């Protein structure tokens, strides 16, 4: 009887060890999964546009940007914004600092929660996100940016002069998404915070 008790105890110990080992393996797998998260997503190759002098002048004069020491700094861009895509945490493009030599944008943000279609609640934060955004398209009416937030989350933005997308602009967006291997299901409702802000003043 004692012999069987010892064997049973040994079996229980072995099971416990194997269970713990399996748990550790799962933890390791989760760690590996976190490490493997890439930005931009696998298979997405962003093709930034080369900005001409005319593009830069246009961005300065028409997108509420200020040029200083070869950088473009964003003022309040929230009221000219149409949000085509958003990051996992709902971070929306708000302002920018553009570096001409690298053709990249540093973004400041506002964090919003969508309450219903076209209605968002939240506040703009006066801080810089650890993320760089590439210009994928620039024109007189619209520009398209894409990039990574905090080296993890991928985000895409389309900005238009009047905060709306017409049919021609939608075609431009679709073509740009296709060119960069991005899915077409990123579309979100327009940001109505601008209208609310104006009406409350």
Let me know if residue 42 belongs to a domain: no
Q: Between these two residues, 88 and 173, which has the higher pLDDT value? A: 173
**Pair 101, 183 in one domain:** yes
Let me know if residue 196 belongs to a domain: yes
Q: Average of pLDDT values for 163-183?
A: 81
What pLDDT is recorded for position 142?
82
Cα(108)–Cα(125) distance, rounded to whole angstroms?
A: 7
**SS3 of residue 187 by DSSP:** coil
* CA dihedral (58, 64, 67, 71) positive or negative: negative
In percent, the amount of the chain with pLDDT more than 70 equals: 27
Length of the chain equals: 201
Residue 167 above 70 pLDDT?
Answer: yes
CA distances from 165 to 52, 88, 169, 189 (A): 24, 23, 6, 10
Let me know if residue 92 belongs to a domain: yes
**Pair 26, 67 in one domain:** no
Let me know if residue 5 belongs to a domain: yes
Structure tokens belonging to residue 179: 């060119």
**Pair 13, 94 in one domain:** no
Name the domain count of the chain: 2
Identify the band that residue 151 occupies on the pLDDT scale cut at 50, 70 and 90: low
Identify the band that residue 79 occupies on the pLDDT scale cut at 50, 70 and 90: very low
pLDDT tens by residue, 9-40? 555 455 555 555 555 555 555 555 555 556 66
**Pair 59, 134 in one domain:** yes
CATH of the domain at 184: 2.40.128
Q: Which residues contact 105 (CB under 8 A, 6 or more apart)?
A: 96, 97, 98, 99, 132, 133, 134, 135, 145, 147
**SS3 of residue 14 by DSSP:** helix
**Pair 185, 95 in one domain:** yes
**Pair 119, 194 in one domain:** yes
pLDDT tens by residue, 89-148? 544 444 444 555 555 555 544 444 445 444 444 444 444 445 566 778 888 788 887 777
What pLDDT is recorded for position 102?
55
Q: How many CB atoms lie within 10 A of CB 67?
A: 15
What pLDDT is recorded for position 159?
72
**Pair 25, 123 in one domain:** no
The parent domain of residue 155 ranges over 53-200
CA terminus-to-terminus distance, the chain: 86
Cα(84)–Cα(193) distance, rounded to whole angstroms?
A: 15
**SS3 of residue 185 by DSSP:** coil
């Amino acid at each position: 009887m004692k012999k069987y008790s010892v064997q049973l105890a040994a079996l229980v110990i072995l099971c416990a060890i194997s269970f713990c080992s399996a748990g550790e393996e799962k933890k390791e797998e989760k760690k590996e999964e976190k490490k493997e998260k890439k930005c931009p997503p696998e298979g997405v190759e962003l093709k930034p546009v080369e900005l001409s002098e005319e593009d830069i002048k246009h961005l300065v004069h028409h997108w509420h940007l200020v040029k200083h020491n070869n950088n473009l700094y964003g003022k309040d861009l929230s009221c000219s914004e149409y949000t085509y895509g958003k990051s996992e945490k709902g971070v929306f493009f708000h302002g920018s600092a553009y570096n001409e030599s690298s053709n990249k944008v540093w973004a400041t943000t506002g964090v919003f929660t969508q309450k219903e279609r076209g209605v968002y609640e939240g506040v703009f934060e006066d801080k810089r996100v650890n993320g760089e955004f590439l210009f994928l398209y620039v024109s007189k009416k619209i520009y398209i940016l894409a990039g990574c937030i905090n080296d993890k989350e991928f985000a895409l933005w389309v900005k238009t002069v009047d905060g709306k997308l017409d049919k021609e602009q939608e075609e431009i967006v679709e073509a740009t998404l296709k060119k960069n291997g991005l899915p077409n299901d990123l579309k979100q409702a327009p940001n109505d915070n601008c209208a609310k802000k104006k009406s409350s003043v």
